[in-house]
Structure 1
Amino acid sequence: MTSDAIVVGGGVVGLATATVLAERGLRVRIWSRDDVLGTTSAVAGALWWPYRIEPATEAGAWALASLRLYQELAADPDRSGVGLVAGVHADTVLDGLGSWAKEVEGLRQLAPDEVPGPYRTGLGARLPLIDMPVHLAFLRSRFEALGGTFEQREVRDFAEAAALAPLVVDCTGLAARELVPDPGLRPVRGQLVVVENPGIEEWFTAADESAGETTYFFPHRDRLVLGGTAEEGDERLGPDPETAAAIVARCARVRPEIAEARILRHLVGLRPARVGGVRMEAVPLPGGGRLVHHYGHGGAGVTVAWGCAEAAADLALG
């Protein structure tokens, strides 16, 4: 055995899980089909908020644990990619949220005249907003500083990893559908438009979890990430021009200056949703090893990454 653990998957969940295991003293390797900037995580907006994830009770606890870490990382946003930014969740009321909301400092119900655009209800908050390309590079560096190794390698069978480490952690996201296989996994397509930031400093969301369309914009210094969609079962990775135009139009209803902003690029990612929610389960491997499945985080992988990583490490080492 050349390692204590191999984490398969190099997105935010895989990086967080590998880092927690390394912090607990294990020799850890990450095997990832893609570079960190080629993962689904790199396409995320990404605002901390428990969105499209189950089971709800566990997700709330995982999200709060992650929130605390992001608040610490926000002390050095240039390095970590994490900033604390004010904004508005429209069409949302406090009474409609889980118990986790009571522990989010500063989360408050807004008066109708405080909610922008054609909305009359909403919540105000100052939350972690994460520049994912910067953040993923930061996480990889943090993991490697702990002695971890990141290898770009496609895995076709977990036995490949089990031959080299007694602990294998499956953080493969949507790829677990074929690799496990798990037919309960389904893609939820998200399309984004990145434009030059016309001077917007606050984020905005109006997201109906039951709808295929959402409206949000997230400021990252000189650029603004506009969204979005939540199209279940749609696996198209190419951007749709009509969808892009509709995203810009919806965002411009809230901030008209967005309509004239220069488009920089289009992004598409497939969220790894799963019937029954996140799978976190340990199964034995031949020879006495252990395989921990840790996937199915839907649209909230960034939000729950660190709480989930701690839980997966407890399961792996318990």
Structure 2
Amino acid sequence: MSSDVIVVGGGIIGLTTAIVLAESGHRVRVWRREQTRDTTSATAGGLWWPYRIDPEVRVGAWALASLRVYEELAGRPDETGVRLVEGLHEGARLADLGPWAAKVPGLREDPRGLRARLPLIDMPVFLGWLERRLTAAGGTFETREAERLPDAPTVVNCTGLGARDLVPDLEVRPVRGQLVVVENPGVHNWYTSVEDDGPRSTYFFPQPYGLILGGTAEEDNWNRAPDPATAERIVARCALVRPEIAGARVLAHRVGLRPARTSGVRIERETTAHGGVLVHNYGHGGAGVTVAWGCAEEAAALATASPAPRPPR
């Protein structure tokens, strides 16, 4: 039996959650403050890999569920923007990862680190495809600034960084990421050398429109403007790995604020003062793309579950 659901938030978390609900027969409206192409999700590099996200005990299952979806979508790359691409996680070791790593096809060690053929997602194309998929399932969009979460029978809160004020949840904070997009000088594989707890990393991702270079992870930095000096350092670090990057023409600069949360992702159901159902699905840090589908399934199940029976008096 269908019911009305409002999903607040138009990034990848909101769209995937709305799709799961709509394709299960629910009437879904997505409230979004901005067009999806203008969200933090659109600025993401797009590599599937758990990065700067907690809690570790739950991330593996969400990530693997999402991996299976992306592997299927990679069969239609021109339509979905999802490709399977070979690459290297420099310095990474299987012993440092959770049990989920054993279930990633082809993930293997060599002297330099971990190699794998992983989903690499062209985010503008993918987000457009998600919008069309939701519309085909009967979902609708409303562009509106939510000053508070709506009083409706069923609401799913996928507002990312906006949850800091809307919930409010002061555990939510930004982790600033800056990227540089250059003309690809012939790089076909992705590469990462990541400081999990540091402000800098080195990585590059070949996309159809250019090579994405990164990056930064600056906690509690709300600045959305690209910094020229930071961009120069990003290019220089990437050029140490692939020297041909040094002379590549710069096409664009990107800045995104990752929605981190001190105690990790929040997927939780509560009953509102008006008797409605409110499900939270936010705080995905630097891995929203990686866990989106697994988190969407869990949040949708909470949103549509029957209330637990009251114990007898």
Q: TM-score, normalised by structure 2?
A: 0.95
Q: Contact 1:294/1:312 (CA < 8 Å) preserved in 2?
A: yes
Query: 2:38 matched to 1:29?
Result: no
1:112-158 deviation digits (Å, cap 9, x = unpaired): xxxxxxxxx31110000000000000001000100000111111111
- Other structure's SS at 2:256 match: strand
Shift of the alpha carbon at 1:173? 0.2
Q: Contact 2:6/2:29 (CA < 8 Å) preserved in 1?
A: yes
Q: 1:108-187 residue pairs with structure 2 within 5 A?
A: 108-111=108-111, 121-158=112-149, 161-162=150-151, 165-187=152-174
| Greater Cα offset, 2-11 or 269-278 | 2-11
* Structure 2 Cα separation of the partners of residues 287 and 187 of structure 1: 31
| Greater Cα offset, 263-272 or 2-11 | 2-11
Which residues of structure 1 form unaligned runs of 5+? Answer: 112-120
User: How well do the aligned residues superpose, as a CA RMSD in angstroms?
Assistant: 1.1
Shift of the alpha carbon at 1:221? 2.3
* Structure 2 Cα separation of the partners of residues 166 and 24 of structure 1: 17
* Structure 1 Cα separation of the partners of residues 158 and 18 of structure 2: 10
- Picking from 226, 231, 245, the partner of 2:218 is 231
* Structure 1 Cα separation of the partners of residues 268 and 113 of structure 2: 37
Q: Which amino acid aligns with 2:253?
A: H
Q: Which residue of 1 aligns with 2:43?
A: 43
Q: Which residue of 2 aligns with 1:17?
A: 17
Q: Which amino acid aligns with 2:145?
A: E
Q: Contact 1:10/1:32 (CA < 8 Å) preserved in 2?
A: yes
Q: Which runs of 4+ in 1 moved over 6 A?
A: none
Q: Which residue of 2 aligns with 1:192?
A: 179
- Other structure's SS at 1:192 match: strand
1:146-174 deviation digits (Å, cap 9, x = unpaired): 0000111111111xx32xx4100000000
- Picking from 241, 254, 257, the partner of 1:254 is 241
Query: 2:81 matched to 1:81?
Result: yes
Q: Which residue of 1 aligns with 2:308?
A: none
* Structure 1 Cα separation of the partners of residues 240 and 4 of structure 2: 53
Q: Which amino acid aligns with 2:287?
A: A
Q: Which amino acid aligns with 2:29?
A: R
- Picking from 174, 185, 193, the partner of 1:206 is 193
Q: Which amino acid aligns with 1:224?
A: L
1:269-302 deviation digits (Å, cap 9, x = unpaired): 0000001100111111233211111100000000
* Structure 1 Cα separation of the partners of residues 91 and 217 of structure 2: 17
Q: Which residue of 2 aligns with 1:285?
A: 272
> 1:122/1:34 Cα in 2 relative to 1: closer, same or farther (>3 Å)?
same
- Other structure's SS at 2:120 match: strand
Q: Which residue of 2 aligns with 1:117?
A: none
- Other structure's SS at 2:119 match: strand
Question: Sequence identity, in percent?
Answer: 62
Shift of the alpha carbon at 1:105? 0.6
* Structure 2 Cα separation of the partners of residues 41 and 150 of structure 1: 17
Q: Which residue of 1 aligns with 2:311?
A: none
* Structure 2 Cα separation of the partners of residues 274 and 221 of structure 1: 32
- Picking from 284, 287, 292, the partner of 1:297 is 284
* Structure 2 Cα separation of the partners of residues 3 and 264 of structure 1: 45
Q: Which residue of 2 aligns with 1:240?
A: 227
* Structure 2 Cα separation of the partners of residues 106 and 248 of structure 1: 30
Q: Contact 1:3/1:29 (CA < 8 Å) preserved in 2?
A: no
Q: TM-score, normalised by structure 1?
A: 0.94
Q: Which residue of 1 aligns with 2:310?
A: none
Shift of the alpha carbon at 1:210? 1.0
1:60-84 deviation digits (Å, cap 9, x = unpaired): 1000000000000000001101000
Q: Which amino acid aligns with 2:142?
A: E
Q: Contact 2:122/2:208 (CA < 8 Å) preserved in 1?
A: no
Count of paired positions: 304
- Picking from 254, 265, 274, the partner of 2:252 is 265
Shift of the alpha carbon at 1:199? 1.1
Q: Which amino acid aligns with 2:72?
A: E
